[in-house]
Structure 1
Amino acid sequence: MSNTTVELTRPSVQAKRSPGKLAILWKEVRRHKVSYFFLAPFLLLFTLFTIIPVITSFALSFTYYNMIESPKFIGWSNYKLLFVDDDIFLKAIANTLKFAVITGPVGYIMAFLLAWLISQIPVKYRFIYTLCFYTPAITSSIAISVVWLYMFSGDRYGLINYWAMKLGILNEPWLWLQNIKTIMPVLIIVSLWMSMGIGFLAFLAGLQNVPRDYYEAGAIDGIKNRFQELWFITIPSVKPQLLFGAVMQVVSSLQVFDISIQLLGMPSVLYAGHTVMTHLFDYAFIRFEMGYATAIAVVLFLMMVGLNRVIFRLLGSGE
């Protein structure tokens, strides 16, 4: 009987002696207090401008809030309205996913291949080529309002219509930005032209930092051409940059807004170019239904998180 009592009480004594998770965390913080001191400014700003706004958005998505009256809790009504009664939102999701599925992978591959080609040319010429490909990303508003509107103008003076009619391809001007068949292709073309952004620079920086010793060792091991170098040496060496570029490409593809507004207006013809971000803008800054708008923002946020988790599983192993 005494042996049984000792065995029963032994686990409870060990449980009392083992420190809790908070105690272990506090011990680690005290041990590395200097490191946490240097991290404190970033953690403070990240909490104030990222974590708190995200939590606030989740809370407001369950309310009716028109920016005049105080928020009123309405439960899941906003989400029910989004997925059951709001046909325009469902069309916006379909347009956004269609846009992201095409521009995401194509823009990602284009950015990497162009960065790889630029890294193959002499160093003194790289800046010129980098500037040429990166300029559309930093002058996008001017280019959209001037160049692309002129190119896709629906009258006979539009550049594409002019040359298509002159070459006999078209008999009359085509309404590129008013026809539902060509609205989404135009958005995709303009987006791909603007896709050489931060991800492109990250790829270029990563490619330039691959040690030359790897290529010399690869030549000894039997690698014979540039494409084998790209597949067996370059891509594995720039995996962190590939991960970063993929995340940035997903975020930019799902947040398409400026292109649609400047080319098609608000709303587009039969909502053919309507995206989740334009739907959010409509309810947030035109109708001032902030509760419903935050519900849209939460759905977009969850879409981004889900796609980014897939990317991390594909490219983030061991990084």
Structure 2
Amino acid sequence: MDRPTTGGFTKTPGWLDWYDGPSKPELKLPPGAVDAHCHVFGPGTEFPYAPERKYTPCDASKEQLFALRDYLGFARNVIVQATCHGADNRALVDALRASNGRARGVATVRAEVSDALLQELHEAGVHGVRFNFVKRLVDFTPKVELLEIAARIAELGWHVVVYFEAADLPELWDFFSALPTPVVVDHMGRPDVSMPIDGPEFKLFVKYMHEHPQVWSKVSCPERLSHSGPPALYGERRPYADVVPFARRLVEMFPDRVLWGTDWPHPNLKGHMPDDGLLVDYIAQIAPTQELRRKLLVDNPMRLYWPEE
């Protein structure tokens, strides 16, 4: 894969470029596997970053994403609008249209979005909108506006993707419960994996999923959640061991409502940049049977993003 470029703009200090020499996964993915959480950034010269962005990334093009998809053994992608592009979904739509039907999208929209633009996004392959509640990444949007957006996209058969941190779930519980669509939670609600798996924080998230059958969870991004980190120099292929019990519990308890994605190109990641081949091999730890892997990687994302097939 070609290295990312700066595209003529200045990256945020400390930004880690994505790992451009991923290993070949040892895990053979089931036919039709979907990378259900990834991004495109720019290129900034073609799709400028939003003036209100909290960070400026490296470029990560659709061509680079699709090359990684093929190299890792995935058949399809779900591309999630990056916060650095705000509500300008042009880079996302460009990637969807170039995918020949092999990608679907999750957009960011504002309350004033027109019906015509929503229809254009739908025809391009968008099937959801993302609401981000991580304060260091986005400015606050009034919940009444988000509810208006959710009501409008429900008519298109879309869902809402929510990104928040575990400590904020009690405050957000009622709002999430009021959404008129399926709700997909990014990265298990970012639990603190140094705490017991049966501790109050993660137990509350499991309770939420149990009580709300319209709620799904992505069991991705161990590299963001781990305290133990990857093995030195990627020398063995069972990394992020402290995250495994949390993800595996959700996969086994809610096998029909879990998704997985690489999160390439791993925005705003501190400390280390993961080997995407190693991340694929991580799947075997959290979904240890072929049946669970088929549900996680094929059946569930196809039902949510390609319901017509």
Task: Please indicate, yes or no, whether the TM-score normalized by the shorter chain is above 0.5.
Answer: no
Q: Indicate the TM-score class for this superposition, using the shorter chain for normalisation.
A: under 0.3
Name whichever structure is richer in strand by fraction: 2
The TM-score, its normalising length taken from structure 2, stands at 0.25
Structure number having the greater helix percentage: 1
